[in-house]
């Protein structure tokens, strides 16, 4: 019998079976076809949604710390609401004008714009900043450039919400491409954040990217979470929110209560350690997710739940509304919310030369370039997007195994020879001081020498100028050996009209297992 042909037949059968079992995600992924009109509509929806959400929650921002906004407290959205805030409180829209800073750099320098260009653009911009953004601005002005400007040992606010609220642009210029969004977030997000603070922005960017190709909010949240390392605190927090939602999908207050019982303590932010407020990215991202999941695709309900969760209650509905409006598209935002938006779409945001109408188009152009950069095609009437399977970014964590304890509070004229106590003895592994300087001369730069255990550690430099100030943190040190320490403060250039006030001095103990 001639076995040669039979052998080849058997080999052919085996090869065919292997091809059938070959994982589709390892083969060339098909390109998703989307009309240019639909793509633009979704991009416009993302920018419009976050602007509406920001104004909707603006009046309650940090008015409810550690508590829900009661059901009988009306959240108002009157006529001319956005116009009012454009005119009276332009700083409310830091969620948007920070994004626009980075959009402008990408437009001017292309998709390969450097982190240094991004850093200088926001550090020297005229707008006010707070928390991680302001500390990064201070660091950059002092010569500490990214990624060190956002690293947790250089930035006590590294876990704060900052990049979370300004990462929208990364997802909106990466439709269906979460890994492209994460690449942008790696460059920009480390200007001001690290660890869980950075993950907040990575997560938001990935959800925006998913919102272009998914039609279900749970799928969007779960796709976004795939970019976050499972060993991170951030992943554990959001996973719990998803689990609690699935257990009782109509009871957001139960999820809010369970979350706050388990995760409410802040460890990093000097202002809010041992305080009711929490501007940590994990908590506020959780409130965004609560709005998205329990809002069930309803635009108004999504914003209301994210707002009623409290804390940073303008930024959270802003992110939730932006992601949802990306999924549904600008043209499907309920008309109830549109008259106020139309009044301001042609107006430049304060501190910028860009309006919503401008960023609709510029964001669209950047998305087209990014689609092509990542293997897609741009045609006359449509785009072909190479949809990406989310990849997990690297694991990084700050403030681990640290428990804050109050050491002292209410110290006036810290470091002055005649001000009383300037020496503190404590036991622990670290220390941070929440405070500020007051002086009528904005050009005066106080120089506070800090000595730890008999050795000069550093000279901290402060100004009362709001733009160039440190972010309410006078000194921090997270590298102390576990044990007893002695810290001393001495102002090298005191003057009568200048006063450094330490509102709280916090020491850290090693967390007990």
Domain extent at residue 141: 32-385
Q: Mean pLDDT over residues 426-436, rounded?
A: 97
Does 396 fall in a domain?
A: no
Residues 302 and 410 in one domain: no
Residues 336 and 206 in one domain: yes
Residue 17 has pLDDT above 50, yes or no: no
Residues 311 and 210 in one domain: yes
Helices (H), 91-148: 94-109, 115-123, 131-141
Domain final position from 385, 414, 433:
385
- Encoded tokens for 483: 């044990």
Residue 2 has pLDDT above 70, yes or no: no
Helix (H) / strand (E) containing 184: helix 178-189
Task: Work out the pLDDT band at 29, boundaries 50, 70, 90.
Answer: low
Residues 406 and 378 in one domain: no
**What SS3 class is residue 380?**
coil
Residue 77 has pLDDT above 80, yes or no: yes
Residues 286 and 412 in one domain: no
Residue 199 has pLDDT above 60, yes or no: yes
Q: pLDDT tens across 93-120, in order?
A: 999 999 999 999 999 999 999 999 999 9
Residues 380 and 423 in one domain: no
* Amino acid 513: pLDDT: 64
Residues 348 and 407 in one domain: no
| Core vs surface per residue 332-370: b (16+ CB within 10 A) or e | ebeeebeebbebbbeebbbbbebebebbbebbbebbbbb
* Amino acid 421: pLDDT: 86
| 324: CATH | 1.10.4080.10
| 457: CATH | 2.60.120.260
* Amino acid 265: pLDDT: 87
Query: Residue 403 CB: number of other CB atoms within 10 A?
Result: 14
Task: Measure the CA–CA gap between 287 and 460, rounded to whole angstroms.
Answer: 36
Residue 13 has pLDDT above 60, yes or no: no
Tell if the pTM clears 0.75, that is, is over it: yes
Q: pLDDT tens across 476-513, in order?
A: 999 999 999 999 999 999 999 999 999 999 999 999 86
Q: Mean pLDDT over residues 70-78, rounded?
A: 96
Residue 463 has pLDDT above 60, yes or no: yes
Residues 366 and 464 in one domain: no
Residues 364 and 459 in one domain: no
Q: Mean pLDDT over residues 210-221, rounded?
A: 98
Domain final position from 350, 385, 420:
385
* Amino acid 301: pLDDT: 98
Residues 129 and 277 in one domain: yes
Task: Measure the CA–CA gap between 287 and 294, rounded to whole angstroms.
Answer: 10
Q: pLDDT tens across 305-325, in order?
A: 999 999 999 999 999 999 999
Task: Measure the CA–CA gap between 454 and 468, rounded to whole angstroms.
Answer: 30
| Core vs surface per residue 178-198: b (16+ CB within 10 A) or e | bbbbbbbbbbbbbbbbbbbbb
* Amino acid 30: pLDDT: 75
Residues 59 and 203 in one domain: yes
Mean pLDDT (the chain) is 93
Task: Work out the pLDDT band at 177, boundaries 50, 70, 90.
Answer: very high
Does 391 fall in a domain?
A: no
Residues 417 and 474 in one domain: yes
Does 314 fall in a domain?
A: yes
Q: How many domains does the chain have?
A: 2
Q: pLDDT tens across 112-144, in order?
A: 999 999 999 999 999 999 999 999 999 999 999
Label the pairing between strands 32-35 and 382-385: antiparallel
* Amino acid 259: pLDDT: 98
Label the pairing between strands 430-438 and 499-510: antiparallel
Q: pLDDT tens across 334-366, in order?
A: 999 999 999 999 999 999 999 999 999 999 999
């Amino acid at each position: 019998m001639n076995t040669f042909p039979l052998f080849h037949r058997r080999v052919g059968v085996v090869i065919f079976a292997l091809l059938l079992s070959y994982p589709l995600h390892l083969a060339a992924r098909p390109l998703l076809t989307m009309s240019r009109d639909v793509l633009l509509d979704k991009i416009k929806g993302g920018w419009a949604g976050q602007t509406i959400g920001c104004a909707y929650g603006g009046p309650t921002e940090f008015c409810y710390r550690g508590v829900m906004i009661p059901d009988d407290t009306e959240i108002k959205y009157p006529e001319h609401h956005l116009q009012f805030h454009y005119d009276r409180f332009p700083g409310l829209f830091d969620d948007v004008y920070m994004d626009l800073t980075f959009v402008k750099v990408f437009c001017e320098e292309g998709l390969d714009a450097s982190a240094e260009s991004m850093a200088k653009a926001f550090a020297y911009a005229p707008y006010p900043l707070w928390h991680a953004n302001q500390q990064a601005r201070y660091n950059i002005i002092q010569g500490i450039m990214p990624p060190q400007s956002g690293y947790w040992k250089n930035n006590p606010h590294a876990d704060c919400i900052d990049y979370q609220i300004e990462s929208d642009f990364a997802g909106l210029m990466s439709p269906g491409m979460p890994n492209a969004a994460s690449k942008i977030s790696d460059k920009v997000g480390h200007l001001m954040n690290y660890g869980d603070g950075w993950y907040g922005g990575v997560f938001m960017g990935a959800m925006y990217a998913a919102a272009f190709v998914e039609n279900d909010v749970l799928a969007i949240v779960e796709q976004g979470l795939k970019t976050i390392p499972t060993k991170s605190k951030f992943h554990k927090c959001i996973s719990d929110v998803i689990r609690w939602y699935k257990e009782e999908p109509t009871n957001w207050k139960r999820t809010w209560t369970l979350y706050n019982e388990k995760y409410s303590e802040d460890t990093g932010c000097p202002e809010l350690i041992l305080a009711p407020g929490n501007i940590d990215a994990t908590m506020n991202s959780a409130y965004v997710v609560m709005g998205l999941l329990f809002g069930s695709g309803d635009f108004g309900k999504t914003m209301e739940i994210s707002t009623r969760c409290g804390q940073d209650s303008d930024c959270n509905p802003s992110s939730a509304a932006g992601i949802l409006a990306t999924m549904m598209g600008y043209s499907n935002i309920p008309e109830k919310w549109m008259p106020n938006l139309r009044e301001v779409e042609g107006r430049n945001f304060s501190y910028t030369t860009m309006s919503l109408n401008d960023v609709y188009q510029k964001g669209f152009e950047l998305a087209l370039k990014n689609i092509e950069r990542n293997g897609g095609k741009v045609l006359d009437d449509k785009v072909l997007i190479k949809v990406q399977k989310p990849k997990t970014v690297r694991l990084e964590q700050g403030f681990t195994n640290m428990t804050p304890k109050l050491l002292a509070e209410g110290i006036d004229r810290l470091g002055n020879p005649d001000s009383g106590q300037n020496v503190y003895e404590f036991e622990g592994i670290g220390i941070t001081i929440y405070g500020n300087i007051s002086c009528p001369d904005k050009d005066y730069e106080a120089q506070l020498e800090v000595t730890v255990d008999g050795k000069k550690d550093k000279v901290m430099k402060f100004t009362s100028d709001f733009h160039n100030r440190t972010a309410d943190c006078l000194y921090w040190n997270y590298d102390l050996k576990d044990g007893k320490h002695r810290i001393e403060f001495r102002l090298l250039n005191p003057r009568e009209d200048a006063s450094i006030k330490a509102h709280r001095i916090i020491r850290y103990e090693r967390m007990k297992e």
